[in-house]
Amino acid sequence: MNVSDFDFELPERLIAQTPLAERTASRLLVLHRADGRTEHRTFTDLAEYIGPGDVLVLNDTRVLPARLFGTKADTGAKAELLLLKRLEGDRWEALVRPGKKIRQGTELHFGAGGDGDRPLLTATVEDEGEMGARVIRFQYEGIFQELLDRLGHMPLPPYIKETLDDRERYQTVYARHEGSAAAPTAGLHFTEAFLDRLQTMGVKLCRVTLHVGLGTFRPVSAETVQEHEMHAEWYSVSEESAALLNETRTAGRRIVAVGTTSARTLETIGQRFGNSPIEACSGWTDIFIYPGYRFTMVDALLTNFHLPKSTLVMLVSALAGREAVLNAYREAVAREYRFFSFGDAMFIT
């Protein structure tokens, strides 16, 4: 299966640069898997497609202010870090810029003062990995999280050119556990009021955690889908969430994943436990879902519109069929839906 099979024409003007003023003001394209039929609605119409006893699975990860701008200690040249995941203690995996000039042994300064003052944060490159990744060790005085909140910037995707003044607009309203390098953006559409409305209808909310890492920023460079390797990301499912998922499956109700990160977490535990009851668990997952994959947990999926030839287009194609998804995307382009992180929504049912 070729990566080019998941290509489509996407005008640059449709890639959303800023969030809508109202989260629930987004448009919603509904794709029916049974016959490929589409409907064009508004986001709050989602309530018409979810019933009592169905469960919405939310990824409650919280985005770190993970982008740091500083200088090289030896030359004073500008340098940039994007923190991807904590390894242990003060060691992190990160992307660096400019990659060719930040090699093993390089020391970087952040929040440096003048007149010989010590920088607030010092980073030393300990090792070099693939795709521009580095292993970084930090040195500092005080509390790292407070320094990161002070010095760090939200790691918006590179195609977003606007500055985001309000950091919370790149967090879901249910974000809890800090650790992601990017937001689970399907959840950005929800307000607390709309979630309360769904719960009043009898819809249940289930929280899982998957910290989004390098895979979000890594393009598919292989020619065939099977050659692409996913980057591992950390996930966690609590006892409460495991019990709710078991209850929902036993009752024959639907499990609705909010976003591809929730879907990947669900399918990871689905493969882990098979037909046995789900248990509380955590670990690393590099699951790669593309057409031919048989879903074990996800019955329906709320997601944004993704970029051509991305692993995310492959995942939704695995659920709804490649031709049905590409046809729906062509409709979305024709009707000028907003694409990607701050874009409109798609519900596959």
- 21 Cβ partners below 8 Å, 6+ apart? none
User: Is the pLDDT at 167 greater than 90, yes or no?
Assistant: no
Cα atoms in the 13 Å half-sphere on the side-chain side of 346: 33
Q: Which residue has the higher pLDDT, 309 or 117?
A: 309
pLDDT, mean of residues 92-113: 86
Compute the distance between CA of residue 231 and CA of residue 215 in angstroms, rounded to an integer. 5
67-151 topology per CATH: Thrombin, subunit H (2.40.10)
User: Among 59-63, 109-113, 171-175, 334-338, where is mean pLDDT lowest?
Assistant: 109-113
- What was the pLDDT predicted at 131? 67
| pLDDT tens-digit map of 198-257 | 999 999 999 999 998 866 656 788 899 989 888 889 999 999 999 999 999 999 999 999
- What was the pLDDT predicted at 139? 92
User: Is the pLDDT at 114 greater than 60, yes or no?
Assistant: no
User: Among 110-119, 292-301, 332-341, where is mean pLDDT lowest?
Assistant: 110-119
Q: Please, is 243 exposed, middle or buried when counting C-beta atoms within 10 Å of its C-beta (0-12, 13-18, 19+)?
A: middle
Cross-strand bridge partners of residue 67: 82, 153
Give the number of other CB atoms < 10 A from CB of residue 313.
Answer: 26
What pairing do the DSSP bridges indicate for beta strands 233-237 and 177-180? unpaired
- What was the pLDDT predicted at 91? 93
Report the share of the chain in percent with pLDDT over 70.
Answer: 96
Compute the distance between CA of residue 6 and CA of residue 14 in angstroms, rounded to an integer. 18
- What was the pLDDT predicted at 265? 98
- What was the pLDDT predicted at 214? 65
| pLDDT tens-digit map of 14-56 | 999 888 888 999 999 999 999 999 999 999 999 999 999 999 9
- What was the pLDDT predicted at 115? 52
Compute the distance between CA of residue 341 and CA of residue 331 in angstroms, rounded to an integer. 19
**Structural domain boundaries in the chain:** 3-63+165-348, 67-151
pLDDT, mean of residues 170-196: 94
**What DSSP designation does 119 have?**
P
pLDDT, mean of residues 103-116: 79
Taking the mean position of all CA atoms in its chain, how far away is CA 197?
Answer: 25
- What was the pLDDT predicted at 25? 92
- CATH number of the domain at 3-63+165-348, please? 3.40.1780.10
- What was the pLDDT predicted at 295? 97
Compute the distance between CA of residue 287 and CA of residue 229 in angstroms, rounded to an integer. 9
DSSP string, 158-203: TT--S--S-GGGGS-TT--EEEESS--GGGGG--HHHHHHHHHTT-
Compute the distance between CA of residue 14 and CA of residue 28 in angstroms, rounded to an integer. 15
- What was the pLDDT predicted at 221? 82
User: Is the pLDDT at 140 greater than 60, yes or no?
Assistant: yes
Compute the distance between CA of residue 256 and CA of residue 160 in angstroms, rounded to an integer. 29
In whole numbers, what is the pLDDT of the chain averaged over residues?
A: 92
Contact 240, 51 (CB under 8 A): no
Q: Please, is 99 exposed, middle or buried when counting C-beta atoms within 10 Å of its C-beta (0-12, 13-18, 19+)?
A: middle
User: Is the pLDDT at 156 greater than 60, yes or no?
Assistant: yes
- What was the pLDDT predicted at 116? 58
